[in-house]
Amino acid sequence: MTGQVRRGFIEGEECAVDAAAVERAVALAAEALDKVRRTSSFDRAVVLDKVAVALAAKAAEIAQALADESGYLTVKDMTLEVQRAIEVFTLTAAHARAGMSETLNVDAVERARGAVAYIRREPIGPVLGITAYNGPLLIAAHKIAPAIAAGAPIVLKPSPRVPLATIRLARTVVEAGWPPEAVAVLDVDNDATMALVRDPRLPVVSFTGGMVGWKIKEAVPLKRVHLELGGVGAVFVASDGNVALAAQECAAGGFVRSGQSCISVQRIYVERPRYQEFVDAFIARVTEMRPDSPAAIGPMVDDAAAKRVEAVIIDAVSRGATLACGGNRQGAYMEPTVITGATGEMTVMRNEIFGPVVAVSAVDSADEAIAEMNAVSGAIHHGIYTANIDTAFRMSDEIRAGGVIINGPGTWRVDHMPYGGTGTSGFGREGVRFAVEEYTEPKVIVVRPSVPRPR
């Protein structure tokens, strides 16, 4: 810790966070492990359901508070954020009730005749969850809910831009009946965060954010580290695809949260016969997002982020792309921007921009689209619009990404599907059951007969 005192949540109460508070929170989490790992699936599910009910009861109030705290996220976006957080807790409660144990047919092997076995998942230990600024409630929910289902204490390090969202969620969890010593929020600086990463009492690290995640993984090679990082989302619109639907959904998927989403649509490849038709329809949708309309996007997180996006746009135009709409910046607000005629030499086609800019390019075939979509170092989700089932399945097989959405943009997601990236986009998966698996390890229990069975 530096000399700066920050806000936190320890033992069910908000508090100032200094080095002593950090030590207390980690020590409590370590001590709580034995208690919470012995809670029943029923107990865990009850807590999870109570959190969902509490969030639903104040959904509008929470959405407004999230928008107010951030200053860059809209109430519209945060309304969906709250709804999805409710779904995370509801779905995780259902998973807890279904149970995580399974039987194993060991007597399929001759020398195991008469034996039975089952596998149960046990928490590895307390979890360190590190969240990002673009999903102040949902990202925290994706870390807390699976920890409860797994029977694991959790220490959360929120984004310093939106710590109150995580503190409020942690308080809701405690009010729902989860032991107060088993959940803590520590708004600490980078040095203190790395100290938490290295702390052996926190054997699981779940990180959502940028490429610094790989430094975390390198720093603790013996820990279970889950990384949910950024991607360079792409969509392919085939000549037989639904152009109107693709234009509508890609506009929403490209500019949600002003493009500040790990699965934002950033690159769109359209087969040449439908290229101009798509561009016209897409620009019509994007221009509806003017500042005075209900579809208006919000500002970026700060001026520096908007300047970075502006530089990418200038770079693309200087290399021969066309600025089809947008491109103007006022402080942290960047107009929703569409670039056409983009090529692989441009930054916008190869690196995550994390801002309100989408590049559209014409391709001559699905093969060319696959090559372009795969020409990045990592990907989370890509999308395909086509009416040809053979094209859809072939592309799904050949595209390298954590997920492929057929007849939808890469931003399409429900919160219990496995979610994560390939390559530099991440390591491991979140999404209820899959996150629980990240936090636990299997233990096999074998029961052999005390008297061998006759053959």
- Do 225 and 239 have their domain in common? no
- Do 435 and 374 have their domain in common? no
Residue 145 placed within a domain: yes
pLDDT digits (tens, 9 = 90+) for 228-265: 999 999 999 999 999 999 999 999 999 999 999 999 99
Residue 23 placed within a domain: yes
Looking at the chain, the whole-number percentage of residues with pLDDT higher than 90 is: 95
Q: In which residue are the tokens 């399945």 written?
A: 393
- Do 303 and 213 have their domain in common? no
Decide if 75 contacts 60 (C-beta within 8 A): no
The enclosing domain of 136 has a CATH number of 3.40.605.10
Is residue 182 helix, strand or coil? helix
Q: Which amino acid is at 351?
A: N
The enclosing domain of 402 has a CATH number of 3.40.309.10
Whether residue 228 lies in the annotated active site: yes
Burial of 79 (0-12, 13-18, 19+ CB in 10 A): middle
Torsion of CA 327, 331, 333, 337, to 10 degrees: 10
- Do 367 and 441 have their domain in common? no
pLDDT digits (tens, 9 = 90+) for 265-275: 999 999 999 99
Catalytic residue among 81, 249, 262, 310: 262
Residue 88 backbone zone (phi > 0: left; psi -120 to 50: alpha; other: beta): alpha
Does the structure show a pLDDT above 90 at 451?
Answer: no
Q: Which amino acid is at 455?
A: R
Q: Which of 300, 237, 232, 238 is nearest to 265 (CA)?
A: 232
Catalytic residue among 87, 181, 228, 249: 228
Residue 411 placed within a domain: no
- Do 269 and 213 have their domain in common? no
Q: Report the predicted TM-score, pTM, of the whole model to 2 decimal places.
A: 0.96
Residue range of the domain that includes 322 = 233-406
pLDDT mean over 198-219 = 97
How many structural domains are present in the chain? 2
Decide if 154 contacts 129 (C-beta within 8 A): yes
Q: What distances in angstroms separate CA 137 from CA 372, 410, 450, one per listed residue?
A: 34, 21, 52
- Do 336 and 402 have their domain in common? yes
Residue 416 placed within a domain: no
Decide if 313 contacts 84 (C-beta within 8 A): no
Q: Kindly give, in sequence order, each residue whose CB lies less than 8 Å from that of residue 248, ignoring residues fewer than 6 positions away.
A: 281, 285
Whether residue 271 lies in the annotated active site: no
- Do 44 and 142 have their domain in common? yes
- Do 187 and 76 have their domain in common? yes
- Do 396 and 268 have their domain in common? yes
Round the average pLDDT of the chain to a whole number and report it.
96
Residue 368 placed within a domain: yes
Is residue 242 helix, strand or coil? coil
Residue 455 placed within a domain: no
- Do 187 and 285 have their domain in common? no
DSSP states along 362-409: EESSHHHHHHHHTSSSEESEEEEE-S-HHHHHHHHHH--SSEEEETB-
CA distance 94 to 130: 25
Residue 151 placed within a domain: yes
pLDDT of 39 reads 97
